[in-house]
């Protein structure tokens, strides 16, 4: 009996070391204690900072493209501006995989991404305002700032606005909006990367000098909360609301769909989940490192497999929704329900088993 136990122990020890050797990518630290710190550092340096950096770059590019459109208003430049908008949107939606810290505390999220847009107010502005400066825009209500007013004006209600349709006032407003957006994205990046907030350091030094997160346990809870939160927002909010409203008021339902003019709604939802995946896997845009997956795998490979699988299922399910979301809620309801179910499953796993994992194993 004793020999059997020793053999079993030896076997599992061997398999453990084998696992560790295989997962040894960027970091050489593989013991759990060090892993807890390294994962935070890799998340910050490989996922969060580059994501926000790309967002800032994309906002600079959108601004530049809109200025070009302003000086040389033609359809080619309008298309270029639209592409820049879509690219920036995709990057932002991935950033929503970790909606904690300054993006939330400093209101950068609502400053950029409020829905719906207030069309009456916009029309009023365009008729009455003598000029638009970025200072004016930053004082407007949230429904007049950020992505969606820009989207409305460069895509048009049915997505078929032409360059000739753009009025001088609209162009002026668009430029001010883009500058405001650029300022927000720059401030967001700086809040993480530089003084006085240095939020990146607050995350990396969680439980080790951070003033915001005095334990690593709390830090991981917040990260997992962010993942579960975006599942909830997409599965029980952004997708569910129009889907359900369709049953009682089919003409009203499409108005609840975000990004309808650019037609990126489903792409946005999918990017939200890719952002979640980035956080879990520790990867972003080709860069790899340690992620939560490594922490979980170190103690409970089966849970890690389960999470990875549910994330992949959720992401893949979006590909079955092929119509613009405002139409899909009418004729692709089965596919939508399948996605929402996949999101709910993932959310339950994150809020349940993964949070329990954090409570049990991240004891600082």
Can you give the binding site for another protein, defined by CB under 8 A?
100, 104-107, 110-111, 114-121, 124-125, 128, 139, 141-143, 218, 221-222, 225, 229, 236-237, 241, 252, 255-256
- The least distance separating another protein from the CB of residue 149, rounded to whole angstroms, comes to 12
- The least distance separating another protein from the CB of residue 43, rounded to whole angstroms, comes to 16
Classify burial at 221, counting beta carbons within 10 Å of its beta carbon; exposed 0-12, middle 13-18, buried 19 or more.
middle
Q: Alpha-carbon distance 20 to 98, whole Å?
A: 27
Residue closer to another protein by CB (options 178, 228) is 228
- The least distance separating another protein from the CB of residue 237, rounded to whole angstroms, comes to 5
Token digits of residue 347: 């959310």
- Which of 184, 192, 187 minimizes the C-alpha distance to 112? 184
Size of the chain, expressed as the number of residues it contains? 364
Contact 97, 283 (CB under 8 A): no
Total Cβ atoms within 10 A of residue 194: 11
- The least distance separating another protein from the CB of residue 122, rounded to whole angstroms, comes to 9
Residue closer to another protein by CB (options 100, 357) is 100
- The least distance separating another protein from the CB of residue 290, rounded to whole angstroms, comes to 22
- Give, as one character, the DSSP assignment of residue 257: -
Residue closer to another protein by CB (options 90, 229) is 229
Token digits of residue 352: 């349940």
Token digits of residue 103: 């993006």
Q: Alpha-carbon distance 182 to 112, whole Å?
A: 10
Contact 114, 143 (CB under 8 A): yes
- The least distance separating another protein from the CB of residue 305, rounded to whole angstroms, comes to 27
- Give, as one character, the DSSP assignment of residue 284: B
Cα torsion 172, 177, 182, 183: sign: positive
- The least distance separating another protein from the CB of residue 332, rounded to whole angstroms, comes to 22
Q: Alpha-carbon distance 320 to 49, whole Å?
A: 32
Residue closer to another protein by CB (options 20, 344) is 344
Q: Cα 265–136–120 angle (5° rounding)?
A: 55
Q: Alpha-carbon distance 269 to 63, whole Å?
A: 24
- The least distance separating another protein from the CB of residue 232, rounded to whole angstroms, comes to 9
The distance of Cα 214 from the centroid of its chain, to the nearest Å, equals 25
Number of H helices, E strands in the chain: 19, 0
Residue closer to another protein by CB (options 40, 78) is 40
Q: Is 154 helix (H, G, I), strand (E, B) or coil?
A: helix
Angle in degrees, 0-180, between the axes of helices 119-128 and 168-193, rounded to the nearest 10: 120
Residue closer to another protein by CB (options 209, 237) is 237
- The least distance separating another protein from the CB of residue 222, rounded to whole angstroms, comes to 5
- The least distance separating another protein from the CB of residue 158, rounded to whole angstroms, comes to 16
Token digits of residue 260: 């309808």
Residue closer to another protein by CB (options 142, 312) is 142
């Amino acid at each position: 009996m004793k020999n059997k136990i020793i053999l079993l122990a030896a076997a599992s020890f061997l398999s453990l070391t084998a696992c560790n050797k295989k997962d040894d990518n960027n970091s050489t630290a593989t013991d759990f204690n060090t892993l807890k710190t390294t994962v935070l550092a890799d998340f910050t340096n490989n996922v969060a900072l580059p994501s926000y950096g790309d967002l800032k770059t994309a906002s600079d590019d959108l601004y530049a493209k809109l200025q070009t459109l302003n000086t040389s208003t033609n359809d080619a430049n309008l298309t270029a501006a639209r592409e820049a908008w879509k690219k920036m949107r995709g990057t932002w939606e991935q950033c929503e995989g970790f909606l904690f810290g300054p993006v939330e505390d400093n209101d950068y999220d609502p400053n950029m991404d409020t829905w719906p847009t207030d069309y009456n107010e916009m029309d009023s502005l365009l008729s009455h305002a003598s000029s638009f400066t970025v200072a004016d825009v930053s004082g407007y209500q949230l429904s007049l700032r950020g992505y969606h007013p820009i989207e409305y004006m460069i895509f048009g209600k049915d997505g078929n606005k032409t360059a000739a349709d753009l009025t001088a006032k609209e162009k002026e407003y668009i430029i001010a909006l883009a500058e405001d957006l650029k300022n927000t994205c720059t401030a967001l990046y700086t809040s993480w990367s530089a003084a006085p907030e240095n939020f990146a350091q607050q995350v990396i030094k969680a439980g080790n000098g951070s003033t915001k997160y005095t334990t690593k346990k709390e830090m991981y809870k917040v990260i997992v909360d962010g993942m579960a939160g975006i599942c909830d927002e997409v599965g029980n909010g952004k997708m569910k609301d129009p889907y359900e409203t369709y049953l009682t008021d089919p003409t009203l339902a499409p108005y609840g769909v975000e990004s309808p003019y650019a037609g990126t709604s489903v792409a946005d939802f999918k990017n939200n989940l890719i952002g979640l995946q980035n956080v879990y896997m520790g990867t972003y845009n080709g860069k790899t490192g340690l992620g939560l997956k490594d922490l979980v795998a170190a103690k409970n490979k089966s849970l890690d497999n389960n999470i990875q699988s549910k994330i992949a299922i959720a992401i893949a399910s979006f590909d079955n929704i092929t119509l613009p979301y405002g139409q899909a809620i009418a004729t692709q309801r089965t596919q939508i329900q399948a996605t929402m179910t996949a999101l709910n499953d993932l959310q339950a796993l994150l809020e349940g088993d993964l949070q329990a994992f954090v409570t049990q194993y991240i004891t600082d």
